[in-house]
Amino acid sequence: MPSKSPVLMAAVAKEAARMAGMESEKLYAHYNHTDSCHLLRWTARESYQFMYERPWEKVVQFYSNLVSRGTGASALSELFTDKKYGIVNISENGDSSEEKEAATGVASKDNEKRRGGRWNRLNFKIVLSYHGGSFDGWQKQPDLNTVQGVVEKCLGEFVDENKAKQLKDRSLPIEGSALVAGRTDKGVTALQQVCSFYTWRKDVRAGEIKDAINHVAPEKLNVLAVSKVSREFHPNFVAKWRRYLYIFPLDKENIKDDSDHMDPHKSISELDCDLEEGDMIDISQKMPSDKINEESSFLDKRDEGNVIQISETKPQRFSVNKVDQILRQLEGKMLSYKMFARDTLASRSMGPATECFMFHSRATETTIPSTDKKSEEGTRVMCVELVANRFLRKMVRVLVATAIREAAAGVEQDALINLMGATCRRATAPPAPPDGLCLVDVGYDEFKRENCFILD
């Protein structure tokens, strides 16, 4: 192999030094908003702190209880007892009957028998729920406890002999391959996630797959239904909509406040009594070190672990009704959400576009039941329900955080629409914590608004 030219090596070293110098001098400037509410809008650091200083453990435990029941999205009905609600039928949606295949244009079983190759394999649809706080997200990663890793390990006993031999020859573990409707991040719960698995073995039964997965992590990972589907079924590509629910706690933790600008003799409960319904207050404190993670990578590193206070000249509360009004402006529109995505190029020459169609976007206030048997008092929360044909990376969490920030600043109802024309993603708020996010279900039929949780 020919050696590199000394001139070339010197040029590479010079460029590397220049880039290192630019990185060390990088400024973490905030986006320069120019509207009339720019002086009232929280900075990225203030918004981040406001989001994370909530009693998230109550929401995490609530989701854990839902998953352990093994009833899927129907368990959410207790939050909306005075409202209509609907869920995807997990036993029928994606059914492989000939009538269903004819209606969707999928090839019939007779046609599949006349074909070779992949048409000779069995394809299974798996509907499962899992607790986000118990796993490191969906996608399989080395040395991490992920949902995909657990599921594919269980599916290993159902792979055909040829695939098992290929994996063994390559010194790889014998595992199945699971396709999913949508990957979820660490901490995000799913109540009716959909994945699929195929095998050339003809003796595999749906019940066997369900039993194999359910015994691995009981009460943390539950398979709700397994059914044979068409060979053309792909949980991601044929899905017509996804529904997410974000639960944001409105009550502050009962912790002692030691900030200078607050009355040290006034309790948290007394402060909450001063608020109007649907509003909340921020109490600044030292941010726990375990909250400084990849979500805050864009914050000024000099402020990590320091006391970050929201200016006394800025609003300390927001209205749930205002958040609802802001979110409703997204309904029925095909818009580019590139400013609300994270870990995705804002403009890309290849790959999927950044446009999404929002079928439904609403917010309301309700109460989640207490997990403490000694206390019957629940926790006031704001629920945000979003249904779209697709979602970009961290899009839901950024939308929720930005809607809260804009509502607190008192902006117009079209605030989110206006931000879509921004030139930098710093115009939007940092992602809200993953603890409050839940993938409710995935739809393979046409969207019906009457099946949503939050209606007029």
The 10s digit of each residue's pLDDT in 126-155 is: 999 999 999 999 999 999 999 999 999 999
Cβ–Cβ < 8 Å for 372, 385: no
CA distance 60 to 313: 33
Which of 185, 251, 279, 282 is flagged as catalytic? 185
Concatenated DSSP letters of 354-403: SEEEEEEEEEEEEEEPPS-TT----EEEEEEEEEES---TTHHHHHHHHH
- Mean pLDDT of the residues in the chain: 78
185 in active site: yes
User: pLDDT exceeding 70 applies to what percent of the chain?
Assistant: 69
| Statement: residue 77 has pLDDT above 50 | yes
User: What is the set of domains in the chain, with CATH numbers?
Assistant: 44-81+246-451 (3.30.70.660), 98-232 (3.30.70.580)
* 349 has pLDDT over 80: no
Q: What is the mean pLDDT of residues 349-377?
A: 82
pLDDT at 193 over 70: yes
Cβ-contact 400, 245 below 8 angstroms: no
Model pLDDT for residues 311-334, shown as the tens digit of each residue: 667 888 899 999 999 999 999 999
Confidence class for position 273, pLDDT limits 50, 70, 90: very low
Measured between alpha carbons, how far is 88 from 241 in angstroms, rounded to an integer? Answer: 11
Q: Which two tokens stand for residue 114?
A: 């006349």
pLDDT tops 70 at residue 165: yes
CB atoms within 10 A of CB 254: 10
Q: Coil, helix or strand for 268?
A: helix
- Identify the pLDDT of residue 302: 36
Q: Which two tokens stand for residue 251?
A: 């009550």
* Torsion (CA) 376, 379, 380, 383 in degrees, nearest 10: -120
- What's the pLDDT tens digit per position in 208-250? 999 999 999 988 999 999 999 998 899 999 999 999 999 999 9
